[in-house]
Structure formats: structure tokens, C-alpha cells
Structure 1
Amino acid sequence: MSCAGPVPATYSGYNIHMTSTQSHSRVEATGTPVVRVEKLDHIVLRVADPEVSVRWYQEHFGLPVLRLEEYRRGEVPFPSVEISPGTIIDLDGRREATGTNLSHFCLVVEETDLQALVTSGAFDVVDGPYRRWGALGPADLVYVADPDGNGIELRHYGPSQLG
């Protein structure tokens, strides 16, 4: 995404300067933040059935399952799947009337023909595929939904497969 219009010299008490990354602007904070973010730790998804969701994430993405037996024994409130060491998705079956609080989350996937993935019927495809900019530059992407309707962006960086 590109910024619309000029970027102000200060934003929420921070002095900023512009740099360029992959032909897109980037605003660097030069002030002292309250706290610095190092990486994404986890996402909590409200799901109808954690067992169904665990199976879906495992079958579709090959993600390792954490704490499933402990969940089944009632020792923990929900199981999780691991995206990478230190980054997990918690699959919380305690559905609360909180509304839709998550647009989507993004998973970087291996280089894949996303058009073939769309036509395979393996996923409930919501939108795409497209070629768009992301945190690491241009990428092919498609939006899918899990069994509970949570939006998932699947993207891969590198050469486009979309033609």
C-alpha cells in the first residue's frame, strides 16, 4: 500500500523521516516509543470447535499442533497450532459475542501456483489471487476462509506465478 498525500513531520509525538523500500514509502520513528515490537507472537481465533480447527490447520498447512492432549484433558483452555518457533495461532472455542474483531491474518507460504490452488477446491476462496506489496516486497496472494469464516491471506514472495 502506498501512503496517500504527504507524511507529516511529526506523528503522535514522534519525529519521522521517510525512506524507500521496494519503491514504497516507509516511515521510520525517530522518537522513543513506549515499547518496541520485536515480532508477532500469537493470534487468538474464536472457533466453533477447536478439534475441527486443529485438524483443518494441520491438514491444509501441515502446522504442528500444540497442547491438544492437555486441552482434551481439560488442563488448558484451548489448543494451538505453530506457524514457526515462537509464533502460534490459539484456537479458542469459548466463543463470545464480540463481533468480527479480525479482518484477516497473513501466512507466508512456499512458492505456489495460487491460481491452481484457487481452482483445486481445497480452500474456501474469498478473493484473489493478486500480486500486491507486503512486508517483504511484492508477493502473490489469495484470501481464503477457515471453517469459522476467519480470513487468512496466503502469500508467497518471489517470482509471480500469476502471469
Structure 2
Amino acid sequence: MLSGLDHLVITVTDISRAVDFYSRVLGLEVRYRDRERVDLLLGDIALRLHWTATDIEPRAATPTPGSLDLCLRSLLPLDEVQRHLEALDVEVELGPVSRQGATGPIESIYLRDPDGNLLELSRPLKETLE
């Protein structure tokens, strides 16, 4: 019945601050819809930023900044991602650590966006042959 994810809404307190973080720190392309909604493009999926005080309907029953826990796949090795984050003074909260992803083992690092949303950046974990 379903074929995939089109967009995911992230509720934020400051659109400009969130756009800066997701574009500068994570390299996502920005598409402005209007002053209360911005799309951050991730392949064929959009992370849609909504401002907390929006009048847009319908919306989640309790749109809350900082309540999201999202795992994103990295194209780059995590050591490169960590060097990039360090250069930008973005704190890594945890990692690298081994986790289980949707399709198998992954290695992840964790950080937070300006609203406190937990972002897990992951790469497939290559199994070693003995």
C-alpha cells in the first residue's frame, strides 16, 4: 500500500537557525516554501521545518521542538564526518558506536540540532571475514 517517505516535519523555534545548522553542518539543500515552512532536501525526501507558532493546519497534536530522534545515513566515513563537525565546533554527544539499522549493522555518531533534536549519523558496518 505504501512506497516510502515523502517528508518528515521537524518543529523548530527558529527557522533561520535551523536552516543554518542543517545546511552548513549537514550539507542539506534548502528550498523555501514560505516564511513558516522550509524544506531541507535529502535525496527524494524532504525534512520540512515548521515554526512552532505556525497557523498551518492540519498539524501534529503536540508539535514539540526537541522531541525528534532521527537516524540519517552518511555518504562519508564517520571519521570524516567527525572532523567536519569538530571544525564547525559541533559537539558529538556519543560515538562512534555499533547499532542496528533498518537493513543491518551500522556504526553511528550522535549529535543534537539547535532545538535539541537527537540526530544519529550512521554508516553500514562492514563485517570482518575470518
- The answer, yes or no, to whether TM exceeds 0.5 is yes
Question: Which residue does 2:39 correspond to in 1?
Answer: 80
Q: Distance in 1 between matches of 2:53 and 2:117?
A: 13
Within the candidate set 73, 81, 92, 2:50 is matched to 92
Gaps spanning 5+ residues in structure 1: where?
1-35
Deviation, structure 1 residue 117: 0.9
Contact 1:114 1:141 in 2 (8 A): no
Instruction: Establish whether residue 71 from structure 1 lines up as the match of residue 30 from structure 2.
Output: no
Q: Equivalent pairs: percent with the same residue?
A: 26
- Relative to 1, partners in 2 of residues 1:50 and 1:100: Cα closer, same or farther, differing over 3 Å? closer
Q: Distance in 1 between matches of 2:22 and 2:65?
A: 20
Question: Partner amino acid for 2:28?
Answer: L
> Considering only aligned residues, what root-mean-square deviation do their CA atoms show, in Å?
2.8
Deviation, structure 1 residue 51: 1.3
Instruction: Establish whether residue 159 from structure 1 lines up as the match of residue 118 from structure 2.
Output: no
Q: Runs of at least 4 residues of structure 1 off by over 6 A?
A: none
Contact 1:54 1:80 in 2 (8 A): no
Question: Partner amino acid for 2:108?
Answer: L
Could you tell me the TM-score, scaled by structure 2's length? 0.74
Contact 2:78 2:122 in 1 (8 A): no
Contact 1:115 1:129 in 2 (8 A): no
Within the candidate set 23, 31, 38, 1:58 is matched to 23
Between the two proteins, the alignment pairs up a number of residues equal to: 118
Q: Distance in 2 between matches of 1:101 and 1:149?
A: 4
Q: Distance in 1 between matches of 2:52 and 2:65?
A: 15
Larger radius of gyration: 1
